[in-house]
Amino acid sequence: MAMKTACMSSQASDDEQRKRENIRSLTMSGHVGFESLPDQLVNRSIQQGFFFNILCVGETGIGKSTLIDTLFNTNFQDHESSHFYPHVRLKAQTYELQESNVRLKLTVVSTVGFGDQINKEESYQPIVDYIDAQFEAYLQEELKIKRSLFNYHDSRIHVNIIPVIAKADAISKTELQKFKIKLMSELVSNGIQIYQFPTDDDTIAKINAAMNGHLPFAVVGSMDEVKVGNKMVKARQYPWGVVQVENENHCDFVKLREMLICTNMEDLREQTHTRHYELYRRCKLEEMGFTDMGPESKPL
């Protein structure tokens, strides 16, 4: 009875929505062809390629470059940074990658000199300024009379706050679990909102909900290959043994790659545009004096 009521309620709300929009539902008597729209979108997206921009924040030498290399299974040949920069600066490098017939224009932004100063209180400011500057550049392109957004190099940062414990093989599993709990507790107590893997899509809700419980990811990165048994695997070789990067019993690297690239890359891109950028855009337009409603509540 409850299920029937719920279905009737849902149908009633759909009918009310149609009445408000003055939409009539019709039945076609034959094939037309707009069912191919998803295929058209896929083909156009493949032709245009995709942008994906990662901001990797961490102290010099923590393993940022190695992690990015391992994530995308390539050698970006980033030069080692000095520990003696007086200020934090951001360095962006763009690469073109291709997997099968999909082209990805990947921009990796690293924080040079982060954590090297005695007074670290203002270390975050250049990072915030950089993120805002990319939003501002996109907004200025939107506000032009003659826009070129279809071929605009979107430099907005897509990877929101995803906490990662680097060099996770440096501590024991018991210590690591305690550290994870402490880190999440400090994030909550300081009001820091991290990216939550979305659970509104039934196809990925279960895996994403489970992975939200594994945050922060404890990772190990390496492009070195070591022979384990009869196969070569990415690993770190130590006198006491081998840490396998893609072995989930050894670290969370596979979980991070699965969540970041295979499952939620498009959601990260969408969240950046529809949530973070929209908030920035709204605030900036209000500062400029723009409003949606004019005198006598008439739309502008």
CA proximity to 114, closest of 58, 160, 55, 56: 58
Contacts of 271 (CB under 8 A, 6+ apart): 160, 195
pLDDT tens-digit readout, 213-253: 999 999 999 999 999 888 999 999 988 889 999 999 999 99
Q: What is the pTM of this model?
A: 0.82
**Residue 65 CB neighbour total at 10 angstroms:** 20
CA proximity to 123, closest of 162, 89, 84, 165: 89
pLDDT for 3: 47
Confidence of residue 273 (pLDDT cuts 50, 70, 90): very high
Lowest mean pLDDT among 42-51, 76-85, 114-123, 257-266: 76-85
Cβ atoms 63, 119 nearer than 8 A: no
pLDDT for 1: 46
DSSP conformation letters of the chain: -HHHHHHHHHHHHHHHHHHHHT------SS--SGGGHHHHHHHHHHHH-EEEEEEE---TTSSHHHHHHHHTTS---PPPPPS--SS-EEEEEEEEEEETTEEEEEEEEEEETTT-SS--TTTTHHHHHHHHHHHHHHHHHHHSSS--GGG------------EESSGGGS-HHHHHHHHHHHHHHHHHTT--PPPPP-SSTTTHHHHHHHHTTPSEE------EEEETTEEEEEEEETTEEEETT-TTT-SHHHHHIIIIIISHHHHHHHIIIIIIHHHHHHHHHHTT--SB-GGG-B-
